[in-house]
Structure formats: C-alpha cells, structure tokens
Amino acid sequence: MAIEVGTKLEGKVTGITHFGAFVDLSGGVTGLVHISEIADNYVKDVNDHLKIGDVVTVKVINVDKDGKIGLSIKQAVDKPASEARPPRAPRPDRPSGGGERFGGGGGGGGGFNRERGGRPFKPAAGKPSFEDKMSRFLKDSEERMSSLKKNTEGKRGGRGAKRV
C-alpha cells in the first residue's frame, strides 16, 4: 500500500523518545509522530500520552524523499464543528471598518490636519513638546553612560593602568 499525504491509518506504537513516538504502520513501514503532533494541549512527556504497544489512528502529514514519514495523532481526530473557533466579534472600543489606522480619516496624530483648519498642531502651553522631551532624554542618557563608564573602567582586568 502506498503511503500518501493526508491518508489516515492505524498503527502500533513501537518506540518512544523524548521528541516523539515511532509508529509501525504496516509491512514494516515506520513513521514518527512528533511530540507537537500528539495532542492539542502541551505535551511535556510523551509517556504521559502513549505507551509502547498502543494502537493509534494517525494521519500522514509528510513523506520525505529519503523515506521518512511524518505522522500526526491530533490531526487524525475529527473535531466536531462546535469545537471550531467562532469568528471574532468586533471590539466595542474600535470603529467598524478599521480604516482610521490606514488613512481612512480620523486625524489622531498631530502634524497637518485639515479637520482643524489646516494648521500644524501646537502643544498646549506649559507642556513640553516632543523635541524638548527627546533632548532631555538624550542629555540624561549621555550623563548616565558617562558615569557608568567611569565606574566600570577600574573594574576591568588585564588592561593595565586606569585610563584618564
């Protein structure tokens, strides 16, 4: 019997490793069920789910050129339609259509906005602008880096005397 991708077969577990289980399909043909293909939930140890000698239904998920056969137990199980993931409901905090982020209008970010009369956005008085915040951040960052360099240069070994 030719083994084709997508076919469901019965086989017997012949070996268990930390990465999966070997299943004898028929006529001495053996395939591997990877640990990720054993169950829908997380499988920490294959021995918790399978034992040598168990008869399992598997689905062929791939056949390599060199003869290796990839199998899946979890894909062989037919799931009822009720277990399928339901479609996502629209979020109440977002407008339908989702066009705002990709040029659908709105006018959220600042800069030039026709809805406010075509003038550039100016921050409220008393609040620092983005550029002010950025320059303050860079200054603080440079001060921290210089003090960090001063404190770590003396602790490095094998460089000889301290640099000044």
Work out the pLDDT band at 37, boundaries 50, 70, 90.
very high
Does residue 161 carry a pLDDT above 90? no
CB atoms within 10 A of CB 71: 28
Is 62 part of a structural domain of the chain?
A: yes
Tell me, what's the pLDDT at 32? 94
109 domain residue, yes or no = no
Query: Which residues are CB-contacts of 113 (< 8 A; sequence separation ≥ 6)?
Result: 107, 121
**For the domain that residue 60 is a member of, what is the CATH number?**
2.40.50.140
Structure token pair of residue 58: 């598997």
> Domain range for residue 68?
8-72
Lowest mean pLDDT among 55-59, 61-65, 82-86, 107-111: 107-111
Mean pLDDT of 102-111: 52
- For residue 95, what pLDDT band results from cuts at 50, 70 and 90? low
Given a cut of 90, is residue 55 above it in pLDDT?
yes
Residue 50: predicted pLDDT = 92
What does the pLDDT read at residue 129? 86
One-character DSSP codes across the chain: ----TT-EEEEEEEEEETTEEEEEEETTEEEEEEGGGS-SS--S-GGGT--TT-EEEEEEEEE-TTS-EEEESTTTSPPPGGGSPPPPPPPTTS-TT--TTTTSS---S-SB-GGGTSPBP-PPTTSPPHHHHHHHHHHHHHHHHHHHHHHHHTT--SS-SPP-
pLDDT for the residue 94: 62
How many domains are contained in the chain?
1
Task: Return the half-sphere exposure (C-beta side, CA atoms, 13 A cut-off) of residue 98.
Answer: 2
Is 1 a member of any domain?
no
Looking at residues 10-39, what average pLDDT do you find?
Answer: 92
- The average pLDDT across 71-77 equals 91
Residue 92 within a domain: no
112-132: per-residue pLDDT in tens? 555 555 566 665 667 888 888
Between 127 and 17, name the one with better pLDDT.
17
Task: Using the Cα atoms of residue 41, residue 43, residue 47 and residue 51 in order, give the sign of their dihedral.
Answer: positive
In a domain, residue 97? The reply is no
